[in-house]
Amino acid sequence: MPKKRSGKTSKKKSHTKASKPRKPLRKKLHSKISKVRVSKPRKALRKKMHRKLSRPRKHVVSKKPEKRKKVEGRKKLPKQLQSRVPPSIEKQPPADFLKEIKSGIAESAASAAGLPAEEILPLLEKPPEGIDADFALPCFALARILKKDPRLIALDLYKKITPSGVIMEANNTGPYLNFSVDWNSVASGLIPSILQSGSKYGSSKTGEGKTVVVDFSAPNIAKPMSVGHMRSTIIGDSLCRIHRFLGYKVIGDNHLGDWGTQFGKIIVAYRKWGHPERLDKNPIEELLRIYVKFHEEAEIDKTLEDEARAAFKRLEDGDKESLSLWKKFTDLSLAEFGKVYKSLGVKFDAVLGESFYLAMAKEVIDEAIKKKVTKWSQHALIIELENQVPLIIRKSDEGTLYSTRDLATIKYRMKNSSPEKILYVIGSEQKSYLQQVFSAAEKLGYIKPGQKKNLVHVYFGMISLPEGKMSTRKGRVIFLDHVIKEVTDLAEKTIIIKNPELKNRKRIAQEVGIGAIKYADLSRDRIKDVKFDWDEILSFEGDTGPYIQYTHARACSILRKAKLKRPPAKLNASFLKDAKEKAIVRKLAEFPETVSRAAEDCKPHYIANYVFSLATAFNEFYQSIPVLKAKKCSREARLALVSAVKTTLKNGLFLLGIEAPEEM
RNA sequence: GGGCCCGUAGUUCAACGGAUAGAAUGCGGGAUUGCGGAUCCUGUGAUCUGGGUUCAAUUCCCAGCGGGCUCACCA
């Protein structure tokens, strides 16, 4: 049975529209009882206290007393405001303030310790919540090098370090050396820099001159796109955006499943049971019908599979009638896929399906024979691999296989784009298969020896339904366009309730609905399996795409009402005094690092999590601190902050492939 | 059976080997007619088991248990 390249399609009982469980829109009626707000300790603090009382500490190393002593003895140093307005040179990538702060800290700690800064830098980390500091240097690693008690090292460094620049103070807490940063000073450079960089904030030039091919989506022709294809499409699209943002030349390639034995099946099925009129009217539906029919009949009549293989062989050998059928099916399917891609807002730089590589695949076979890396096994041609199952590259009927075409694809891509990396955004179930292909490619010399690591399988877990595995053939499947429609409809209903005056309601409902779908996928680590859950995808509250979009829209709303002609050129950040404001400034500074980590690990969920935490920080801020009604200086500073948040949220959402409407 | 992946509050997810494991959702309380309540505040509640490495393990290693995927002429 054909499998989808991008994932699995099967699914069990399909939910039909009306029966779908759905989370009701929450109507909140609020009681108007006025109450005096009592300030309470923060939740985290509470928890901590509770834990302390109820549970014995695990490690007795804790030196609370010492910590306290240190904190008391902490010396306040004069802060030196050094606002650093970034160079306004166009070509210059946006400044990465976090990186600069960290290297500043690393340098001063390094010179105090007499070690190179490069050794210190990677050790720097963010202290946990509740620690009153911005950066921490755990001294354990130094203890080994310096052969000293880490606590003494921390103390020693603390004494030697003279804070300067944005580093306001250092202090030692047990084996940790903690640094506090003057966020006002940082903000006065960072915020104008963000405003100036705009849609470029967070980008860099690290990928300049390098090419990355992203192989993603890859639906199978003649089958509808199910939610099984969602992950490859959404994750792949995001990875394209992220790499492009970092300066790479990206070739997003939709490696369509438009060749292979399943076409034999469809051709056979079409000749036996197909209705041309139905095909024209409702192509995917008809193709699916005959495809399912084929498998039902094949259960009974075992010769059907052979018939299909033979039909595929004729297609591969260039039989005209078969080819014209193939062409028809392909064109019809592509038209359908195009609609889905359009609503998802996904574009490709290349759409080179497997059929494109047919001639090259045949060359691959000849080459493999010539290079003497093949062996015969039961009339099929195989390549033997170390510690792996051999890879079949030609069937016993001399037809090509997925593997043959994949090898040809590697050859073609290396030759034509010489990419630094090729990312295969394909389900984890193909992990061992892809490793075989990569090894074979190395053996055939399509990649340089030792460069196998540049062929990266960006795998992801499988989508299943609450009722079990999906299965196209059994009709247990949820179609992607169905999901899009449901979510979009709900978004529209929500808008009608919450913002009836909104213009462009349809378009924004679409943006919000798609945002919900994409965010639900991209906000979790791709390697984990997911259960498709209507309730989750139809939820617009909490950790969801619409929450981020809403936050962005609120920021836009404030800026709109402020009627600023243009963002302030200068910023007096000393008016950003509140802890909530500082928290936002720090968050803003973390964006570039988050983006590059996401690219390194090919994990867009870093960005999703980031954007959520920034949105949350912002919501907490504007909930309690007035912007428009603040006094002039505060108002200006806060408006700049709001604007920087808006920009950063928008950029983050963009990297996830999610629109950021200004109203919703 | 061999190989690979996963195992965290009731549920769904986070957590560059570090200091008190964060959220969301659910359920229970709340938000002075201030910038849109798709928001905010607050209570509740978790690292599968057993060993090992480490100053330090949710994280790394081994074993077990549970789940998923995969083991050649499908893709």
- What is the spatial distance between Cα A601 and Cα A604, in angstroms, rounded to a whole number? 8
Scanning every strand, the nucleotide with its C1' closest to A429's CA turns out to be: B69
CA of A387 to C1' of B2 (A): 12
- Give the pLDDT mean for A190-210: 96
The residue range of the domain holding A596 is 480-656
Residue A144: pLDDT band (50, 70, 90) is confident
- Give the pLDDT mean for A154-170: 92
Q: What is the pLDDT of residues A90-110, one digit of tens each?
A: 457 788 999 999 999 999 999
> Residue A55 CB closer than 7 angstroms to strand B?
no
Residue nearest to nucleotide B67 (CA to C1'): A529
- What is the spatial distance between Cα A322 and Cα A300, in angstroms, rounded to a whole number? 25
- What is the spatial distance between Cα A185 and Cα A244, in angstroms, rounded to a whole number? 31
* 3-class SS of residue A300: helix
Residue A565 pLDDT > 80: no
> Residue A39 CB closer than 7 angstroms to strand B?
no
Tell me the Cα Rg of chain A: 29
Q: What is the pLDDT of residues A575-584, one digit of tens each?
A: 898 999 999 9
Residue A568: pLDDT band (50, 70, 90) is low
- What is the spatial distance between Cα A430 and Cα A98, in angstroms, rounded to a whole number? 39
- What is the spatial distance between Cα A503 and Cα A360, in angstroms, rounded to a whole number? 52
Task: Using a 7 Å cut-off to protein CB atoms, list the covered nucleotides of chain B.
Answer: 2-6, 12-16, 18-26, 30-32, 34-45, 55-56, 67-75
CA of A56 to C1' of B49 (A): 22
Q: Which of A518-522, A535-539, A558-562, A563-567 comes out lowest in average pLDDT?
A: A563-567
Residues 583-642 of chain A in contact with strand B via CB under 7 angstroms: 605-606, 609, 612, 616, 619-620, 622-629
Residues 480-499 of chain A in contact with strand B via CB under 7 angstroms: 491, 494-495, 498-499
Average pLDDT, chain A: 86
> Residue A536 CB closer than 7 angstroms to strand B?
yes
CA distances from A137 to A180, A186, A361 (A): 12, 20, 55
Residues 180-219 of chain A in contact with strand B via CB under 7 angstroms: none
> Residue A357 CB closer than 7 angstroms to strand B?
no
Residue A43 pLDDT > 50: no
Residue A35 pLDDT > 50: no
Residue A22 pLDDT > 60: no
> Residue A527 CB closer than 7 angstroms to strand B?
yes
Q: What is the pLDDT of residues A213-224, one digit of tens each?
A: 999 999 999 888
Bridge partner list, A171: A178
Scanning every strand, the nucleotide with its C1' closest to A141's CA turns out to be: B55
Q: What is the pLDDT of residues A242-296, one digit of tens each?
A: 999 999 999 999 999 999 999 999 999 999 999 999 999 989 889 989 988 998 8
Scanning every strand, the nucleotide with its C1' closest to A437's CA turns out to be: B72
- Indicate the residue type of A480: L
pLDDT at A468: 81
- What is the spatial distance between Cα A266 and Cα A259, in angstroms, rounded to a whole number? 11
Residue A5: pLDDT band (50, 70, 90) is low
Q: What is the pLDDT of residues A635-662, one digit of tens each?
A: 999 999 999 999 999 999 999 999 999 9
- What is the spatial distance between Cα A577 and Cα A585, in angstroms, rounded to a whole number? 11
pLDDT at A567: 64
pLDDT at A648: 98
CA of A142 to C1' of B68 (A): 42
Exposure string of A291-306, with b = 16+ CB inside 10 Å and e = fewer, is bbebbeebeeeeebbe
Q: Which of A50-64, A225-239, A529-543 comes out lowest in average pLDDT?
A: A50-64
Residue A183 lies in a domain: no
> Residue A68 CB closer than 7 angstroms to strand B?
no
> Residue A125 CB closer than 7 angstroms to strand B?
yes
> Residue A235 CB closer than 7 angstroms to strand B?
no
- Give the pLDDT mean for A150-171: 92
Residue A13 pLDDT > 70: no
CA of A61 to C1' of B38 (A): 46
> Residue A310 CB closer than 7 angstroms to strand B?
no
- What is the spatial distance between Cα A526 and Cα A531, in angstroms, rounded to a whole number? 13
pLDDT at A569: 64
Scanning every strand, the nucleotide with its C1' closest to A31's CA turns out to be: B30
- Give the pLDDT mean for A226-254: 96
Residue A573 lies in a domain: yes
What is the 8-class DSSP label of residue A201? T
- Which residues have C-beta within 8 Å of that of residue A561, sequence separation ≥ 6? A628
Residue A249, classified by CB atoms within 10 Å of its CB into exposed (0-12), middle (13-18) or buried (19+), is middle
- Give the pLDDT mean for A71-84: 34
Q: Percent of chain A at pLDDT above 70?
A: 86
Residue nearest to nucleotide B16 (CA to C1'): A125
Do A549 and A658 form a contact (C-beta atoms < 8 A)? yes
Residue A597 lies in a domain: yes
CA of A288 to C1' of B2 (A): 36
Tell which wins on pLDDT, A196 or A10.
A196
Residue A550 lies in a domain: yes
User: Cα A154 to the chain's mean position, in Å?
Assistant: 38
- What is the spatial distance between Cα A595 and Cα A588, in angstroms, rounded to a whole number? 12
> Residue A428 CB closer than 7 angstroms to strand B?
yes
Residues 245-284 of chain A in contact with strand B via CB under 7 angstroms: 257, 259-262
pLDDT at A427: 95
> Residue A140 CB closer than 7 angstroms to strand B?
yes
Scanning every strand, the nucleotide with its C1' closest to A381's CA turns out to be: B73
Residue A211 lies in a domain: no
Scanning every strand, the nucleotide with its C1' closest to A51's CA turns out to be: B20
* Domains identified in chain A, total number: 1
Q: What is the pLDDT of residues A398-435, one digit of tens each?
A: 999 999 999 999 999 999 999 999 999 999 999 999 99
> Residue A133 CB closer than 7 angstroms to strand B?
yes
Do A98 and A590 form a contact (C-beta atoms < 8 A)? yes
Give the Cβ contact number of residue A169 at 10 Å. Answer: 18
Residue A21 pLDDT > 50: no
Q: Strand A530-531 and strand A463-464: pairing?
A: parallel
Residue A132 lies in a domain: no
> Residue A523 CB closer than 7 angstroms to strand B?
yes
CATH number of residue A613's parent domain: 1.10.730.10
**DSSP secondary structure of A140-155:** HHHHHHHTS-HHHHHH
pLDDT at A210: 97
Scanning every strand, the nucleotide with its C1' closest to A396's CA turns out to be: B73
Residue A451, classified by CB atoms within 10 Å of its CB into exposed (0-12), middle (13-18) or buried (19+), is middle
Residue A24, classified by CB atoms within 10 Å of its CB into exposed (0-12), middle (13-18) or buried (19+), is exposed
Q: Percent of chain A at pLDDT above 90?
A: 74
pLDDT at A626: 95
CA distances from A395 to A37, A297, A298, A317 (A): 75, 24, 21, 14
Residue A42 pLDDT > 60: no
- Indicate the residue type of A330: T
Residue nearest to nucleotide B54 (CA to C1'): A140
> Residue A378 CB closer than 7 angstroms to strand B?
yes
Residue A86: pLDDT band (50, 70, 90) is very low
Residue A601 pLDDT > 60: yes
Residue A153 lies in a domain: no
Residue A548 lies in a domain: yes
Q: Is the pTM value of this prediction over 0.90?
A: no
Residue nearest to nucleotide B6 (CA to C1'): A528
> Residue A138 CB closer than 7 angstroms to strand B?
yes
- What is the spatial distance between Cα A153 and Cα A651, in angstroms, rounded to a whole number? 41
Gap between the terminal Cα atoms of chain A: 45
SS3 sequence of A537-563 = HCCCCCCCHHHHHHHHHHHHHHHHHHC
Residue A29: pLDDT band (50, 70, 90) is very low
